């Protein structure tokens, strides 16, 4: 009922992304789609992806931020899987009413995302593209999770972020069960 | 035949070699060339050949082969679609032409019964001349060609009862045989041809093809046609009709192209011999004795028949401006006239004098056909300012030809098939063909290294040829043929190895794929993944390897090498491998996967 779309080209080399994913991987009813492991040739099995999404209540998009956006394969995944007539447009209601949680990791420290920093904009300035993609498909946007400074963040901070991520999903599952 | 067989053969061949190119050179067509050759060597010319009748009989087999080939071009479906023009248009032609000609003959002093028999006999046209001419002018698939063919086909059918009925007209024809028994025999023969053509021939062809001896396949093809012709003549049916039927039954077979290319040369030679024989049979003694009578008969035949044909042309979907072409193609008398008139004379239905005159007139009308067509062309070009409406040409050639449908070609073919792209497939493995045919592939049996087969497969119109045969030498031969004869055809080739790759590249082939390369990269990736590499990482490694390998290969094949002997080739292969390994080692570790950090 939860599908984590995980887009990291080198999942074994990832530090933050792997820790976050490991924190939630074992939750019941949660499936991880590691896109770069599934589709190293970028030949996405659109039908399989759509089946998994249709069976889910919550779709988690987890990835490192590359050039202020999603990694290339996740972008292709948007284009192929969130298809016209399925995710949007006439008859495109498959995702309507589902929830979407964005989990992003960045390389630089939080202060880089300030008018004085190298990225010049606050992090939230880069959220609209993903958020609107989900909303355009009729999904509810949950408050996103972002972990800055993935290369250098302390072990404690990493553990705290992982715990927070897990708590959010556990809470979501409990809420859903109660509803 | 006079003299030895070899001398006779030399006379015919020499006459043809001299006369046909000359006739073609002056735009008279090959038929007239053969006829002139026949006049030249016949009893009234140089007198090399005396026994014209037996030659004519032998050469009729050319017509039989021609009908077989025509049948191969028509499958049952097309034949069924033609039934209206064959039976409607064909019967109209025979009735109208027969009536007019009979009236003409009666007016010339012949009794009514012989006039009707002779009229019907000369109402039939020459399949040999008409079809050969239409083929030369590329008219067979045009409406005028289809209409003419429908008429000829009906004549072939109608000739049977006509020949059978003539003796019954003779007074006191007691030994004409029981018509029921004859009919049953004829029906049995037709059923036999259907069974043979439909069910027995294909397995036997497959067996013969498997033997991989080309000439045996040819021998079997000839045997098949001969056998059916003989069966037909035994029960008194038209040999040509039987062969035509057999051709139709094999038209949807995968061996169609191979049969076509094997039979065609025999048909060409025998048909030539047939025309020569017609030329020889023209009785110049009679012409000299009664020039006016013969001229009147010949012109009357052509005029009455031509007008009748032009009148019925619209009924056969012939365009109005082509009705006179249609008439010129079919106005002559034909082979059947010789037979029917001969039977009529021996049954004493027709006076011997009339038979000789009419046969001479028919032969002259056949000889006149090329001139009629020339006259038609001249008239056509004089009024050339009319709007031209293009003939509808049947064109079902596929844009892709796949030569070799084995491990490689089959995957290519299936990929194209899945995309809805039509491909004509050529392969010489009967088992493979049979299997694929079951799944609806358009597969033909044959060796793609033959130019005629490539032509038959539509290489002149196709866009791409995939050269996927196993054998490197054959692959190169196909490439040479395609490059020499079909410059518009793009070549995509499968390379067996680096040597083959080099040879293909040196012939200017730009799209070459080593048959094992991509599969080996894939296997390498799987191994890396089993060793713990990320799938995407493994892919990047393989991509990088591929890129470098291709560049190395291109660089190596660009250097000229001595590949004269097998030893040199093996040596070169080893050196190339060594060179590649050196490059791989030098590059190792230097390639880091780059991108946005971890």
> Does the distance separating the beta carbons of B598 and A10 come in below 8 Å?
yes
* Model pLDDT, residue B173: 46
> Does the distance separating the beta carbons of B597 and A10 come in below 8 Å?
no
Classify residue B236 as exposed, middle or buried by CB count within 10 Å of its CB (0-12, 13-18, 19+): middle
* Model pLDDT, residue B433: 67
Residues of A in contact with B595 (CB under 8 A): 9
Is residue B248 within 8 A of residue B196, CB to CB? The reply is: no
With H, G, I as helix, E, B as strand and everything else as coil, classify residue B440. coil
Q: How far apart are CA A161 and CA B203, in angstroms?
A: 74
Distance of CA B247 to the CA centre of its chain: 11
B534 close contact with A: CB closer than 8 A: yes
Is residue B364 within 8 A of residue B409, CB to CB? The reply is: no
Note the pTM of the prediction, 2 decimals: 0.51
Q: Note which residues in 27-86 of chain A have CB less than 8 A from chain B.
A: 36-38, 40-41, 64, 66-67
* Model pLDDT, residue B1: 44
A10 close contact with B: CB closer than 8 A: yes
Cross-strand bridge partners of residue B464: B400, B490
> Does the distance separating the beta carbons of A37 and B596 come in below 8 Å?
no
CA torsion B371-B373-B374-B380 (nearest 10°) is 150
Q: Which residue of B has its CA nearest to A152?
A: B598
State the best of B534, B542, B592 to mutate against chain A, taking most chain A CBs within 10 Å: B534
B539 close contact with A: CB closer than 8 A: yes
Nearest to A9 among B525, B532, B595 (CB): B595
Q: Which residue of B has its CA nearest to A107?
A: B597
Q: Which residue of B has its CA nearest to A64?
A: B598
- Lowest-confidence region among A136-150, B195-209, B472-486: B195-209
Give tens-digit pLDDT for B483-528.
998 988 999 999 998 889 999 998 999 999 999 999 999 999 999 9
> Does the distance separating the beta carbons of A36 and B536 come in below 8 Å?
yes
> Does the distance separating the beta carbons of A15 and B598 come in below 8 Å?
yes
Task: Concatenate the DSSP letters of all residues of B496-515 into one string.
Answer: SSHHHHHHHHHTT--EEEET
Is the pLDDT assigned to residue B598 strictly greater than 50? no
Distance from CA of A138 to the nearest CA of B (A): 31
List the catalytic residue out of A39, A66, A107, A144: A107
CB atoms within 10 A of CB B53: 13
> Does the distance separating the beta carbons of A36 and B598 come in below 8 Å?
no
Token readout for B374 is 């020339």
Give tens-digit pLDDT for A42-89.
999 999 999 999 999 999 999 999 999 999 999 999 999 999 999 999
A152 close contact with B: CB closer than 8 A: no
Q: B331, B358, B275: which is closest to B124 by C-alpha?
A: B331
Q: Sort strands A2-6 and A58-64 into parallel, antiparallel or unpaired.
A: parallel
Q: B260, B172, B233, B218: which is closest to B457 by C-alpha?
A: B260
Give tens-digit pLDDT for B254-288.
788 888 888 888 888 888 888 888 788 777 888 88
Integer CA distances (angstroms), A43 to A49, A73, A74, B540, in order: 12, 10, 12, 15
Give tens-digit pLDDT for B22-51.
887 776 777 778 888 888 888 877 877 777
Average pLDDT over residues B294-303: 90
Mean pLDDT (chain B, rounded): 81
Would you put residue A59 in left (φ > 0), alpha (ψ -120 to 50) or beta?
Answer: beta
CA atoms within 13 A on the CB side of A79: 10
Q: Which residue of B has its CA nearest to A36?
A: B536
> Does the distance separating the beta carbons of A10 and B596 come in below 8 Å?
no
List the catalytic residue out of A6, A113, A165, A172: A113
Q: Which residue of B has its CA nearest to A68?
A: B596
Q: What is the DSSP letter of A33?
A: E
* Model pLDDT, residue B139: 75
> Does the distance separating the beta carbons of A67 and B593 come in below 8 Å?
no
- Give the model's confidence band at B393: pLDDT under 50 very low, under 70 low, under 90 confident, else very high: very low
Residues of A in contact with B536 (CB under 8 A): 9-10, 36-37, 40
Q: How far apart are CA B322 and CA B552, in angstroms?
A: 62
Give tens-digit pLDDT for B565-580.
545 656 666 777 777 7
* Model pLDDT, residue B429: 67
Token readout for B543 is 């991509």
Nearest to B539 among A14, A41, A67 (CB): A41
Q: B132, B92, B98, B140: which is closest to B115 by C-alpha?
A: B98
Q: How far apart are CA B496 and CA B398, in angstroms?
A: 26
Q: How far apart are the first and last CA of chain B?
A: 94
> Does the distance separating the beta carbons of A107 and B534 come in below 8 Å?
no
Is the pLDDT assigned to residue B86 strictly greater than 80? yes
Among all chains, which residue has been given the structure tokens 């998994």?
Answer: A52
* Model pLDDT, residue B590: 58
Q: How far apart are CA A77 and CA A59, in angstroms?
A: 13
Nearest to A40 among B532, B535, B598 (CB): B535
Is residue B408 within 8 A of residue B468, CB to CB? The reply is: yes
Is residue A27 within 8 A of residue A170, CB to CB? The reply is: yes
Residues of B in contact with A9 (CB under 8 A): 534, 536, 595
Nearest to B538 among A13, A15, A40 (CB): A40
Integer CA distances (angstroms), B481 to B196, B397, B431, B473, B478, in order: 36, 19, 27, 12, 5
> Does the distance separating the beta carbons of B596 and A15 come in below 8 Å?
no
Residues of A in contact with B539 (CB under 8 A): 40-41
Give tens-digit pLDDT for B209-255.
888 787 888 888 888 888 888 888 888 777 877 888 888 888 877 78
B535 close contact with A: CB closer than 8 A: yes
Backbone angles phi, psi at A127, to 5 degrees: -75, -30
> Does the distance separating the beta carbons of B598 and A151 come in below 8 Å?
yes
Is the pLDDT assigned to residue B172 strictly greater than 60? no
Would you put residue A67 in left (φ > 0), alpha (ψ -120 to 50) or beta?
Answer: left
A10 flagged as catalytic: no
* Model pLDDT, residue B432: 65
Cross-strand bridge partners of residue A62: A6, A103
Is the pLDDT assigned to residue B293 strictly greater than 50? yes
> Does the distance separating the beta carbons of A14 and B538 come in below 8 Å?
no
What's the Rg (C-alpha) of chain B? 31
A113 flagged as catalytic: yes
Residues of A in contact with B592 (CB under 8 A): none
> Does the distance separating the beta carbons of B595 and A41 come in below 8 Å?
no
The alpha carbon dihedral of B37, B43, B47, B49 has a sign of: positive
Token readout for B342 is 């001969």
Average pLDDT over residues B326-342: 85
Q: Which residue of A has its CA nearest to B535?
A: A37
B592 close contact with A: CB closer than 8 A: no
* Model pLDDT, residue A16: 92
* Model pLDDT, residue B385: 44
Is the pLDDT assigned to residue A126 strictly greater than 90? yes
Q: Which residue of B has its CA nearest to A40?
A: B536
List the catalytic residue out of A39, A108, A119, A144: A119
Q: A42, A26, A82: which is closest to A59 by C-alpha?
A: A82
Distance of CA B231 to the CA centre of its chain: 23
Is residue B156 within 8 A of residue B330, CB to CB? The reply is: no
């Amino acid at each position: 009922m939860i599908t984590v779309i995980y887009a990291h080209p080198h999942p074994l080399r990832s530090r933050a992304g792997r820790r976050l994913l490991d924190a939630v991987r074992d939750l019941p009813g949660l499936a991880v789609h590691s896109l770069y492991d599934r589709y190293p040739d970028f030949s996405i099995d659109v039908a399989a992806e759509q089946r998994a999404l249709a069976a889910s209540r919550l779709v988690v998009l987890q990835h490192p931020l590359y050039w202020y956006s999603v990694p290339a394969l996740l972008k292709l995944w948007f284009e192929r899987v969130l298809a016209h007539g399925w995710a949007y447009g006439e008859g495109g209601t498959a995702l309507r009413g589902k929830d979407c949680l964005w989990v992003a990791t960045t390389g630089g420290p939080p202060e880089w995302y300030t008018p004085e920093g190298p990225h010049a904009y606050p992090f939230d300035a880069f959220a609209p593209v993903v958020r609107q993609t989900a909303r355009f498909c009729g999904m509810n946007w949950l408050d996103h999770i972002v972990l800055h400074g993935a290369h250098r963040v302390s072990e404690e901070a990493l553990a705290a972020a992982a715990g927070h991520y897990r708590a959010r999903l556990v809470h979501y599952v409990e809420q859903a069960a109660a509803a | 035949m006079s003299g030895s067989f070899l001398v006779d053969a030399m006379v015919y061949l020499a006459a043809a070699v001299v006369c046909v190119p000359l006739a073609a050179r002056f735009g008279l067509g090959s038929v007239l060339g053969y006829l002139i050759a026949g006049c030249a060597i016949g009893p009234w010319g140089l007198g090399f050949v005396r026994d014209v009748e037996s030659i004519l009989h032998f050469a009729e087999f050319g017509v039989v082969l021609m009908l077989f080939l025509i049948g191969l071009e028509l499958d049952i479906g097309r034949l069924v679609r033609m039934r209206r023009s064959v039976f409607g248009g064909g019967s109209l032609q025979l009735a109208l032409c027969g009536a007019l000609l009979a009236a003409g003959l009666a007016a010339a002093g012949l009794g009514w019964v012989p006039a009707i028999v002779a009229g019907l006999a000369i109402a039939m046209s020459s399949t040999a001349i008409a079809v050969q001419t239409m083929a030369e002018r590329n008219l067979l698939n045009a409406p005028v060609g289809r209409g003419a063919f429908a008429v000829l086909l009906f004549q072939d059918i109608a000739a049977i009862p006509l020949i059978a009925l003539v003796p019954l007209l003779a007074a006191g024809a007691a030994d004409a045989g029981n018509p029921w028994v004859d009919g049953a025999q004829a029906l049995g023969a037709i059923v036999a041809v259907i069974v043979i053509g439909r069910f027995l021939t294909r397995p036997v062809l497959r067996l013969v093809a498997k033997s991989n001896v080309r000439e045996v396949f040819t021998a079997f093809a000839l045997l098949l046609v001969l056998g059916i012709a003989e069966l037909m003549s035994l029960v008194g049916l038209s040999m040509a009709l039987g062969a035509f039927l057999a051709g139709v039954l094999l038209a949807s077979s995968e061996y169609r192209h191979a049969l076509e290319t094997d039979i065609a040369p025999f048909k060409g030679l025998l048909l030539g011999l047939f025309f020569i024989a017609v030329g020889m049979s023209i009785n110049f003694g009679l012409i000299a004795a009664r020039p006016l009578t013969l001229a009147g008969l010949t012109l009357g035949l052509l005029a009455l028949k031509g007008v009748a044909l032009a009148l019925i042309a619209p009924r056969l979907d012939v365009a109005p401006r082509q009705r006179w072409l249609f008439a010129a193609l079919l106005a002559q008398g034909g082979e059947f006239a010789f037979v029917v008139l001969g039977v009529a004379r021996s049954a004493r239905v027709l006076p011997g004098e009339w038979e000789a005159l009419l046969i001479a007139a028919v032969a002259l009308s056949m000889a006149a056909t090329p001139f009629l067509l020339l006259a038609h062309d001249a008239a056509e070009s004089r009024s050339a300012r009319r709007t031209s409406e293009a003939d509808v040409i049947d064109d079902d050639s596929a844009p892709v030809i796949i030569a070799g449908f084995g491990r490689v070609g089959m995957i290519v073919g299936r990929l194209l098939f899945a995309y809805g792209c039509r491909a004509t497939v050529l392969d010489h493995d009967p088992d493979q063909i049979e299997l694929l045919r079951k799944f609806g592939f358009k597969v033909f049996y044959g060796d793609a290294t033959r130019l005629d087969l490539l032509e038959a497969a539509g290489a002149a119109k196709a866009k791409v040829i995939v050269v996927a045969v196993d054998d490197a030498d054959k692959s190169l031969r196909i490439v040479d043929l395609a490059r020499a004869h079909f410059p518009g055809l793009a070549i995509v080739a499968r390379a067996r190895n680096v040597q083959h790759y080099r040879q293909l590249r040196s012939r200017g082939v730009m799209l070459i794929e080593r048959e094992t390369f991509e599969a080996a990269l894939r296997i390498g990736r799987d191994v890396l993944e089993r060793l713990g590499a990320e799938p995407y990482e493994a892919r990047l490694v393989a991509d990088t390897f591929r890129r470098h390998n291709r560049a190395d290969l291109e660089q190596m094949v660009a250097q000229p090498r001595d590949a004269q002997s097998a030893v040199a080739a093996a040596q070169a292969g080893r050196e190339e491998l060594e060179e590649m390994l050196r490059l791989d080692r030098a590059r190792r570790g230097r390639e880091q996967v780059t991108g946005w950090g971890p």
